[in-house]
Amino acid sequence: MSKSIQTSFDVIVIGAGVAGLSTAMQLAKRGQSVVVLEREQLGNGSTGRAAGLLGQLRGTAESTRMLMDGVEIVLDLEKQADVEIYVQTGSLRIAETPERAEEIADLVTMGKSIGFDIEHLTQAEVAAKLPYMKTDDLLDACYCPTDGHLQPAELVSAYIKVGRKHGVQYHTNCAVTNVIVTGGKATGVETVVGEFHAPLIVNAAGPWSYLVAGLTDTVLPTAAICHHYLTTRPDDSIKIDRFSPAVRNRHHRLYTRPESDGLIVGMYGEEATEYDMESLPSDFDMSAMKARLDDILVATLVYNAGQRFPWITERTSMTITTGIMTFTPDGKPFCGKLPDIEGLFYGSGFCGHGIVQSPTIGVIMADLILEGETSYDIDAIEADRYFDEPEFQTRVDIKAAAYEMHSGYYGNVEGRKQ
């Protein structure tokens, strides 16, 4: 490595996806010298393939609070970096079965109880908002006008722009090959270009995070699961407004939002392709992933999309985006440290929701790294919740648990055990 390169920092962040970039930016804003080490290019892993849907009303009041605070951070980032990140399209949930209608009723009650802007919509109101969607079978719907999506590429560029302003250094093509531990404390990493040293190290390596954890013989229960979404090309006969609301249609396992006069439709299916990251080439580039023309999961996606958007068929002009998501056994990320090694922190396992969680996760990570505590209630996302749990130690068990969580992600009716 050239002598002119700085190799000693306060914090090393492994991985330049949104989790690592946001954490690095927040740490630097608090005066830390930070380096981000990325095996490939900035924002080119799961981040680069994400749809970025922002549905703020999720599960608990605390996770909703985190997402709402995230929007504030994004609005500030937009000013500082002069880019448009947050596209406030509003979002809909729709129900075509009594169970899903109950789910929506519960959601509206929960939302209203915490002062979140949410309302029921009639079938006619839904049809007026989304003329390109089949609505005649809907029993209920709810609308959240402050939802929308975050544009992943713009978010990445803002994190980097603001991070750089505060002194963050970014090294690409710089894969970490070892984590140096001395006397139970992390002190640095070895990379393909040489060693870097810091008393604090953040593993934000996304689907690779369990492999990075493995460098210190730490078990991180994450699994890499393939995901597809389609993007229709603009079509004069199907007008899709740039501010059409996003839709979550859990019955058909679909999510959708507008994109460049076309429509993104993705699916969390019952089945999925799993990856063992260690079996991929060392220079694997996620942006080169491509679905086969006869991939049954893509066919299922197109089929399900056609159930809600009847104009979408296999003959529709579209692109298929393929990427890898990092899933955990309970669908929640791992944030914070584990009892085994001092100075080593984790920010990984965002289960397809990393883009929208990343603004607040950066704050939480910086809190935990520098203060050892945070004002957020992080019980549900604390990194050590599976530590030494005997049923989450082998890859086979971890993969099975994460796969099961993925299968039920949109399938299960919320608030009810299947």
- By CB under 8 A, name the one of 177, 292, 310, 404 that touches other proteins: 292
Of 40 and 259, the one with the shorter C-beta distance to other proteins is: 40
Is 41 near other proteins (CB under 8 A)?
A: no
Of 150 and 160, the one with the shorter C-beta distance to other proteins is: 160
Is 276 near other proteins (CB under 8 A)?
A: no
d(CA 98, CA 88): 29
Long-range contacts of 370-377 (CB under 8 A, 24+ apart): 370/27, 370/30, 370/32, 376/62, 376/65, 376/66, 377/62
Contacts of 387 (CB under 8 A, 6+ apart): 338, 339, 340
Min CB(231)–other proteins separation in Å: 13
Is 303 near other proteins (CB under 8 A)?
A: yes
Q: Is 302 helix (H, G, I), strand (E, B) or coil?
A: helix
Of 294 and 373, the one with the shorter C-beta distance to other proteins is: 294
- By CB under 8 A, name the one of 291, 370, 380, 400 that touches other proteins: 291
DSSP per residue, 140-168: EEEEETT-EEE-HHHHHHHHHHHHHHTT-
**Candidates 149-157, 178-186, 274-282, 337-345 — which segment interacts with other proteins by CB under 8 A?**
274-282
DSSP 33: -
CA-to-CA separations, 192 to 94, 99, 276, in angstroms, rounded: 49, 53, 22
Is 396 near other proteins (CB under 8 A)?
A: no
Q: Cα Rg for the chain, rounded, in angstroms?
A: 21
- By CB under 8 A, name the one of 61, 83, 139, 280 that touches other proteins: 280
Buried b (16+ CB within 10 A) or exposed e, 13-22: bbbbbbbbbb
Min CB(320)–other proteins separation in Å: 7
Is 300 near other proteins (CB under 8 A)?
A: yes
Is 298 near other proteins (CB under 8 A)?
A: yes
Q: Order of strands, edge to edge, in the sheet holding 86-87?
A: 53-54, 148-150, 86-87
**Candidates 256-264, 270-278, 314-322, 339-347 — which segment interacts with other proteins by CB under 8 A?**
314-322
Min CB(324)–other proteins separation in Å: 14
Min CB(397)–other proteins separation in Å: 26
Of 65 and 134, the one with the shorter C-beta distance to other proteins is: 134
- By CB under 8 A, name the one of 290, 310, 394, 404 that touches other proteins: 290
CA dihedral defined by 237, 248, 149, 351, rounded to 10 degrees? -130
Say if residues 72 and 314 touch (Cβ distance below 8 Å). no
Total of residues contacting other proteins (CB under 8 A): 23
**Candidates 101-109, 196-204, 250-258, 308-316 — which segment interacts with other proteins by CB under 8 A?**
308-316
Min CB(302)–other proteins separation in Å: 6
Is 192 near other proteins (CB under 8 A)?
A: no
- By CB under 8 A, name the one of 183, 236, 288, 417 that touches other proteins: 288
Contacts of 75 (CB under 8 A, 6+ apart): 86
- By CB under 8 A, name the one of 115, 183, 184, 281 that touches other proteins: 281
- By CB under 8 A, name the one of 87, 320, 341, 363 that touches other proteins: 320
CA-to-CA separations, 286 to 273, 283, 300, 356, in angstroms, rounded: 15, 10, 22, 20
Chain centroid to Cα 110, Å, comes to 24
Report angle CA 303, 308, 310 to the nearest 5 degrees.
70
The total of other beta-carbon atoms located within 10 Å of residue 343's CB is 20
Of 184 and 281, the one with the shorter C-beta distance to other proteins is: 281
Binding site for other proteins (CB under 8 A): 279-281, 283, 285, 288, 290-296, 298-300, 302-303, 313-315, 317, 320
